[in-house]
Amino acid sequence: MKNKEGVPQHIAIIMDGNGRWAKKRNENRIKGHIKAKKSVRESIEFCVEKNIKYLTLFAFSTENWKRPKLEVQALMNLLHNVIGEELDNLNDQNIKLKIIGDLSPLPEKTRKSLDLATNETVNNNGLNLILAINYSGKWDILNATKTILENKENVDLANFNEKVFEKNLSTFNIPDPELIIRSSGEERISNFYLWQAAYSELYFTDILWPDFNKNELNNAIFEFKNRNRRFGKL
């Protein structure tokens, strides 16, 4: 659903290209992840300024565990540190944080930081910031299916539909994203919001994530405004 200015109310971003950004500069891949903090901050600020209600950032996929061990450790430490550094800013901007994904494999200190930030911002009612961490669309659908099967005695098959299924997804009560953005030139959604992206508009940019800024986000929204979203209708 768009607001009065035609701006999407839920934007999701696949933040891609940190490693390539660093490689182009003969830097360690971790430098790309650190530099990307600015892009995250700008995207959040933009959504607050434009009164966008939901922003999902695909921060760490279930497939990212396949990366070098040192890089994964650095990412977990970075996530722990950034959450701690930005907690006051989240509250100052009235941002509510929600985490989706399987957090059980994460280091304890990272889980605690995420839990603290979630609890500390639970009463905020501005931007809903959703971090997808150790998340995949397949995991989400499979997890929902398992939950339903575990309670199958309460399932009314005659009235079982999409709405019933969606109640078991990690994004229950979050509207589907109208716009999904991916940086770095890759043109796929890489096991992100598989169920939720059924009618999302997709925007791909060659800009690597550490160089992504408010101007590029504004470009994505401009293109979104000019698309004809028919939802199967003529």
What count of other Cβ atoms lies within 10 Å of the Cβ of residue 65? 11
64 is catalytic: yes
Q: Which residue among 28, 64, 124, 168 is the active-site one?
A: 64
Residue 178 corresponds to which amino acid? Answer: E
At 116, list the tokens.
Answer: 């603290």
If phi over 0 gives left and psi between -120 and 50 gives alpha, with beta otherwise, what is residue 190? Answer: left
If phi over 0 gives left and psi between -120 and 50 gives alpha, with beta otherwise, what is residue 6? Answer: left
Q: Give the helix/strand (H/E) hosting 33.
A: helix 29-49
91 is catalytic: no
Asked if residues 128 and 57 have their Cβ atoms less than 8 Å apart, the reply is no
Q: Which residue among 16, 18, 128, 134 is the active-site one?
A: 16
How many whole angstroms separate alpha carbon 156 and alpha carbon 65? 38
Q: What are the catalytic residues?
A: 16, 64
